[in-house]
A and B are shown apart, each in its own frame.
Chain A
């Protein structure tokens, strides 16, 4: 046997050996964690249901037991904050919404993660944190330059429409991110097909008092101009800027969609609007990319609409501005956990390339470059690859300003906006009320203390901050 043949045989043998090995060989430190139980607090949402399918596999592989407490989304923030604040360590890791990171991290409820990422004894060698999309990881998990959480999925907010209904009405819906899809286009298209007598409403909107502060935002942004970008809520000195003609126009536009809604819809939340759409009784509705598979494209539970949808972005406004919003859930280790290493072992496993890619077939979303480019994602959720560039270059993690006061700001917008919807006040009064009450909230937060020089940086004014490689964070 000559040297070439010997080398080839050796290489082939090694390759076979490598293939035979499990994707992630366990380290001694990981093996030592076998027998531990970690407790996870999560909201009842489709993407967490997708991850739950992998728990048995993890438990078998690592010998660490996962106990999950699922809480309805509307009660989740309350429950998680109370648990964290009590500091009992009942839960070892939490699901964290992108909007709550500032509050949780500033309060010291979460463990910084980079030491774990860099710990080769606890993190699989092929974890590759730089495989995460920079804006997704920085926008979801970084606070004050420190990494606190890992994203399980992150996607833009958008709209979903029935392509078959449009076709029947004689028009074809535009492609995603086409400049043709504007607020005017959306209104006109909804009006064209709106026929409540035949159980088809033009647009199932979500105006409920507790949702307005979320579902109205695409229009607040759409009605901005390139010059007002960045000043949607506050100026450079944190002075509230919401009372202006753009806000008023966006509220009026949101209100114009009321024309397509049933009389008893002022309290509609995501559940009601989605149910109407799933029943085949609405032409369009609001979506969040991570919900698409679970809410609109499951042939078993949404037989009337699955496969008939077009998933678009939120419409561009008169100046062509599109809402740069993305939503995301991530996982963070509790500062008070007594099983931090076991919790991390699970987190790094469930957010690994392999598991994230496989989870997409059950409805979980991508947050890694490799997952976006995978055949599995293209096969099971073909609406995702089209948003890859948007997630890389257009998203603004501070579309909702990530300050601890946001919960109150969102509530104020929801209440005032919903009052316009039910006819109690007009849009001008709502904008004025929002400004006054949001200013009070910021004042209470200490933003206007003369001489204060430790206010948060407004990173959204230079989005390159969010474009650092994930491994560069502390």
Chain B
């Protein structure tokens, strides 16, 4: 039997099949897009909306996973109130905000500097570009372990060489992970090392998309490089900056592996950020309700920060246009 024969002998559609097709098929323009989107929506609900709703439920009850024998009592907003009254929460929030602002600020300017530098056609630039991206490619866990051993007391490369230099200069050893202030800055340093390449990548793409005409016009007008940078490059780079800064801010705000592996929130509570506090609450003490409330607060903070960024950048972009 040939293919054409087989095609022509296909059984005709039943009435029921025709009904389904007319109700959900391409001919029904109101319903068909939803049919196409249904798999995505189901997955979105299962992995995004349901857990969110369940978090709301857990946060409004008293659930301690290691004590399943306790009754689940509805406590309303008590978990949020308890967190707001908890000095540990405010300490962790302060540390998180300082860490995020510091890390993203440094990463942005370093990333921008590198992106501008790599716009020029220099020898070996392709190799250098790949080399710069290596820290970002490493899994955060591996990067944190590498640096933990670099700062290992008495044996790490950093403690050995930098410590040797500071000792020779008469300053003694630098307590990279033992002094509260230094340990915090050490974490910022490692975060900058790991994520500046991301800023570089995003901003490089942004720079490549800027049209040449404004620069040519500026050159004819005799504008200085400084003026070109502030009046052409920066305004036209804003969409890329906005995306890069928002993504990095959300990431830095949630930094976990780096801190847990290098300092575990210490010394004292000097590097205990919200995510470390959250993990301790949820997975050490198994207080699921408090952890759920905390994660919802963190989500709200991130949404508000993103919203502020978008508003500020959009208004500046509109002014520039």
A interface list, Cβ under 8 A from B:
77-78, 81-82, 85, 103, 106-108, 208-210, 262-268, 272, 275-276, 281, 404, 407-408, 411, 415, 418-419, 421-422, 424
Contact = CB atoms under 8 A, between A and B. Distances in A.
A334 to B, nearest CB: 14
B208 to A, nearest CB: 43
5 contacts: A106-B69, A107-B67, A266-B179, A276-B154, A407-B285
Contacts of A415: 266, 268-269
Nearest to A414: B266
B111 interface: no
B266 to A, nearest CB: 3
Given A106-B69, A107-B66, A108-B69, A418 B266 contact: yes
A210 B269 contact: no
B172 interface: yes
A268 B155 CA distance: 13
Contacts of A408: 284-285
Contact of A262 (B173, B267, B284): B173
A266 B175 contact: yes
B269 A264 contact: no
B238 interface: no
Nearest to A272: B153
Interface residues of B, number: 33
Interface string B119-161: 0000000000000000000000000000000001111000100
Interface string B162-201: 0000000000111111111001000000000000000000
Given A85-B65, A85-B68, A422-B180, A210 B264 contact: yes
B267 A422 contact: yes
B172 to A, nearest CB: 7
A210 B179 CA distance: 16
B266 A209 contact: yes
Nearest to A415: B269
Contact of B267 (A103, A266, A276, A404): A266
B286 interface: yes
Interface of B: 65-69, 152-155, 159, 172-180, 183, 263-270, 280, 283-286
A108 B66 CA distance: 10
A35 to B, nearest CB: 33
Contacts of A421: 267-268
B264 A264 contact: no
B178 A267 contact: yes
Contacts of A422: 178-180, 267-268, 270
B55 to A, nearest CB: 17
Contacts of B66: 81, 85, 103, 107, 404
A53 B87 CA distance: 49
B285 A209 contact: no
A411 B266 contact: no
A81 B264 CA distance: 20
Nearest to B268: A419
A435 to B, nearest CB: 15
Given A264-B178, A266-B178, A108 B68 contact: yes
Among B177, B179, B267, the most chain A Cβ lie within 10 Å of the Cβ of B267
Contacts of A272: 152-153
B264 A267 contact: yes
A281 B172 CA distance: 19
A432 to B, nearest CB: 14
Contacts of B264: 208-210, 267
Contacts of A411: 280, 284-285
Contacts of A262: 153-154, 173
Contacts of B154: 262, 264, 276, 281
A319 B15 CA distance: 95
Given A78-B284, A418-B266, A424-B268, A265 B153 contact: yes
A108 B70 CA distance: 12
B153 A264 contact: yes
A424 B180 CA distance: 9
Contacts of A419: 267-269
Contacts of B269: 209, 415, 419
B175 A264 contact: yes
Nearest to A437: B88
Contacts of B67: 103, 106-107, 404
Nearest to B151: A264
A210 B271 CA distance: 13
Contacts of A107: 66-69
B286 A268 contact: no
A209 B267 contact: yes
A275 B154 CA distance: 10
Contact of A264 (B68, B177, B280, B286): B177
Contacts of B183: 267
Contacts of B159: 264
A254 B105 CA distance: 40
B38 to A, nearest CB: 29
Given A85-B66, A276-B154, A407-B284, A266 B176 contact: no
Contacts of A275: 155
Contact of B172 (A85, A103, A263, A276): A263
A81 B286 contact: yes
A81 B65 contact: yes
A267 B267 contact: yes
B283 A78 contact: yes
Given A209-B268, A262-B173, 11 more contacts: A107-B69, A263-B178, A264-B154, A264-B174, A264-B176, A265-B178, A267-B266, A407-B285, A408-B284, A411-B280, A415-B269
A263 B173 contact: yes
Contacts of B153: 262, 264-265, 268, 272
Among A262, A272, A411, the most chain B Cβ lie within 10 Å of the Cβ of A262
B105 to A, nearest CB: 26
A81 B176 CA distance: 33
Contacts of B172: 263
A418 B267 contact: yes
A268 B177 CA distance: 10
Q: Which 10 A-B pairs have the closest CB atoms?
A: A209-B266, A266-B178, A419-B268, A266-B267, A264-B153, A264-B175, A422-B267, A264-B178, A78-B283, A263-B173
Nearest to A422: B267
A272 B178 CA distance: 13
A208 to B, nearest CB: 7
A198 B173 CA distance: 16
